Structure 1
């Protein structure tokens, strides 16, 4: 009898866990819907997708800018931005960018969370653009050890 109750509890738990899988369209975020709405894809042109900040001393934080233009005919949305490591914090234009308009991605690199020497970091950007909707922004430079 104990085994029957255990089996029933397992079936109920499986059913309850399956309810929260988020596969229905009402649980999708706006950005998910925008990425799937290929009829409204647009195009982007990066004015600077690779930035070299030169040399900075260890302990300094530097802010980098990546600018882009909506070269398509539909509004451009940046739906997600992710820095490649914990030493970088990225931010972006949250509003829709009209055709012909410009937007910006910023990346704040904290050298205290990195190592001295040459660095190459990435920021991944997701947009409602075609033919590519994931863009890689790169920054490079040198972090000089303290006291140099």
Structure 2
């Protein structure tokens, strides 16, 4: 009985290690984008974050949530094969916001080895003159 139990535990351990080896992994080119200084007259700014699946299984982005309603992320919906690239586009809309420095975060959740990543957009909106 002990022998069967040991063999079963050994098989479970081997299968667990094999499953961990075949996993997606996301790698971003950058995690922060600075819009620099822009005028309140041109309040809409966009940024693109490019990522690569450096893992060995398809990568699926499950969620992209911004910290504020003025920041809207859109992302690649289909699975990203190993070695391929995808994009997350972020649109910041400063209409009706107070001029000055801002920094917003976008939380990315995926099926990768690192399940959560935060991206940041920042800039300085100057008052219209």
Which TM-score applies when normalising by structure 2?
A: 0.79
Alpha-carbon RMSD across the aligned residues, in angstroms, is 1.7
From the two aligned structures, give the one with the greater helix fraction: 1
- Structure 1 pair 134/71, CA: closer, same or farther in 2 (3 Å)? same
Is contact 1:78-1:127 (8 Å) kept? yes
Q: Which runs of 5+ in 1 are unaligned?
A: 1-36
Could you tell me whether the CA contact under 8 Å between 1:117 and 1:142 is conserved in 2?
yes
Deviation larger for 66-75 or 39-48: 39-48
Matched residues, number: 110
Task: Tell me, yes or no, if the aligned pair for 1:87 and 1:113 is still in contact at 8 Å.
Answer: no
Report how far residue 89 of structure 1 moved: 0.9
TM-score (norm 1): 0.70
8 Å CA contact 1:127, 1:134 repeated in 2? yes
Larger radius of gyration: 1
1:56 aligns with 2:38: yes
Tell me which of 73, 83, 86 is aligned to 2:69.
86
User: Post-superposition, which runs of at least 4 consecutive aligned residues in structure 1 deviate over 2 A?
Assistant: 37-41
